[in-house]
Amino acid sequence: MERDNRMDDKLDELRDTPGPEEGQDPAGGRAKRDGSASRDLYLNVRVLVGMMAVFVLLFTFVARVIVVSGPSMESTLWERDLIFVWALGYEPRQGDIVVLTQEHYQEDSIIKRVIATGGQRVDIDYNTGTVYVDGQALQEDYINEPMRLPGWGEGVNHVEVPEGCIFVMGDNRNHSADSRHPDIGIVDTRCVIGRGLAVLFPFSHWQGL
């Protein structure tokens, strides 16, 4: 019982403590300022935390920014270019530049151009440096230099692309490990992270893709 009384006294003391919303005396004014500063700090932290959460969720589900590593897409994309990649609801189409991952080849993602999609046939003639899709020679103004036979041999060069898959190649054909490489081959569209839409940085490289 005595303990209850002691606790009641403490509770009354707590309840009677002037709060930031009520205090009018100097001590109450200080409490009000403290409370206001604490609230402002809290609101600022909350905004920052919220922004971080929104950014990461956008990067995960909608779009992301990646840095190009390697020369395989020169001269369309250069080492350290910063590119904007759209992921939400994307279905690969012929000619698009895509970011994809083939974990059995390397853990990091790679960036290539879609040459053919499911149901199309790809034939590569290394003698003339020509790529045929469904028997039609592709007009490839974007490649860096005439295509030569890769170091690993002909690899995958006469193939019908299964449904749900794509055939990809780098624009720098002679320095690109892509669908021609036996370790990469035809790529499942579920391995595609998104489509490169634009080079954001450096500004001198800015362009739509």
Partner 1 sequence: MKNSVSGRTSWLISVGAAALAAALLRRWQLASAFEPDTGLATPGAQASVILMCLLVMAGAWLILLAMGRAGGPDPARRWDMVFVTRGDPVFPALAVGAAVLAALAVPVLFVVGVDQFQLYQMAREAGVQPPSNNGMLTLATAAGALLAALGLLQMGRDGLRPGRRGKGGFSAALPGAAGCVWLMESFRAHAANPVQWDYAPQLIAIVVGMGFYMDFAGMSAGAPRPRRLLWMAGMTVILSAPPLATVLAELSARTAAGSSLLAAETGDALLLLSQLLAAAGVLWRLPPYLERLDRSGPDRSGGLEEASIEEETTDE
> Which spans of this chain sit near partner 1 (rule: CB under 8 A)?
3-4, 7-8, 11, 14-15, 17, 19-22, 31, 34-36, 38-39, 41-43, 45-46, 48-50, 52-53, 56-57, 59-61, 64, 100-101, 103, 107-109, 188, 190-193
Between CA 209 and CA 198 the distance in angstroms is: 5
Asked if 120 and 94 count as a contact pair (C-beta separation under 8 A), the reply is yes
Which residue in 98, 93, 117 sits closest to 109, CA to CA?
98
CB of 176 to partner 1, least distance (A): 16
Instruction: Centre a 10 Å sphere on the Cβ of residue 162 and count the other Cβ atoms it contains.
Output: 11
Between CA 105 and CA 179 the distance in angstroms is: 11
Q: Could you say which of 72, 109, 176, 179 is catalytic?
A: 72
Q: Given the complex with partner 1, which of 86 and 126 has the nearer CB atom?
A: 86
CB of 101 to partner 1, least distance (A): 5
Output the six-digit token pair for 208. Answer: 């739509």
Asked if 173 and 143 count as a contact pair (C-beta separation under 8 A), the reply is yes
Could you confirm whether 32 is annotated as catalytic?
no
Q: Given the complex with partner 1, which of 52 and 137 has the nearer CB atom?
A: 52
Could you confirm whether 72 is annotated as catalytic?
yes
CB of 52 to partner 1, least distance (A): 4
Catalytic positions, please? 72, 112
